[in-house]
Amino acid sequence: MEQFRLKILVESRIRWKVYVRFGGEYLETYHSNMTRRWVLSLRFNVAVIDCDYPQHSIVEMRERDLKLALEDEHYKRLAYEQFTRLQKKAYPVVESNTKEALADADYLLPQGDFDYVFFDLPGTINNEDLIHSLAGMDYLVAPISADRVVMESTLNYAVVVKEHIMGREKSRMKGLYMLWNMVDGREKTELYQVYEAVMKELDLPVLKTFLPDTKRFRREQNASRRSVFRSTLFPADRSLIRGSNLDKLVDELIELLK
């Protein structure tokens, strides 16, 4: 399963260093919109470093967004109005890899007064570079779904991080949280209770917010100019945000990072 991570660096001008693990295209949607929420509503200065080789889906999404914003008069006008109102450019999206991730962040930081830097990383601990990057992060949020294969894989991942990275002398990781993803309200029954009991036994706390499973949240910018949910440039349409739990997730993460 492809994964997404969010990292917030602690430097002279950076407050936190956080790593959030999101899975697959569905959660790339939440990544792009969560980032826009931090920029537009909360007025944070953020950047994204996409290290998820070879797909680099965040980089590709930004390229699609920019192409439409430059070629389509409707999106061109929206971009001008938004950036004029905010008095800031679009947040940077940098193509990278697990080996160069931290170095790219160090290079990026002096170029702007960033509050948060988000990293999109691979979803398996299968190389030394990724382990090194994880050890340099303060928090990990691992998405889970009510699927046995996904659950076992993510729990194994989380246990490795908890037992072999957290608490080590050279590790900066302070917290690890699980996040329910692609939740079908009709299925929120005994299966979830069983899994949560297992996570409690493993001492893996679960976030209160869950992300629902719905197809309408996959809408991107397009020539038809329909309402948008997934974008690296524009905020999600208010009608599509309803029921997404996007705002709740951002608020809960910010509360954890105080």
Q: How do residues 172-217 score in pLDDT, each as one tens digit?
A: 888 899 999 888 766 656 788 889 999 999 999 999 998 888 766 6
The 10 Å Cβ neighbour count of residue 207 is 18
C-alpha Rg value of the chain to the nearest Å: 18
Domain ranges of the chain: 3-256
Query: How confident is the model over 223-258, as pLDDT tens digits?
Result: 556 667 778 888 877 777 788 888 888 889 888 876
The predicted model scores a pTM of: 0.77
HSE-CB of 24 using CA atoms within 13 angstroms: 11
Q: Are 141 and 179 in contact (CB under 8 A)?
A: yes
Distance CA 110, CA 214 (A): 39
H or E stretch including 97? none
CATH architecture of 3-256: 3-Layer(aba) Sandwich (3.40)
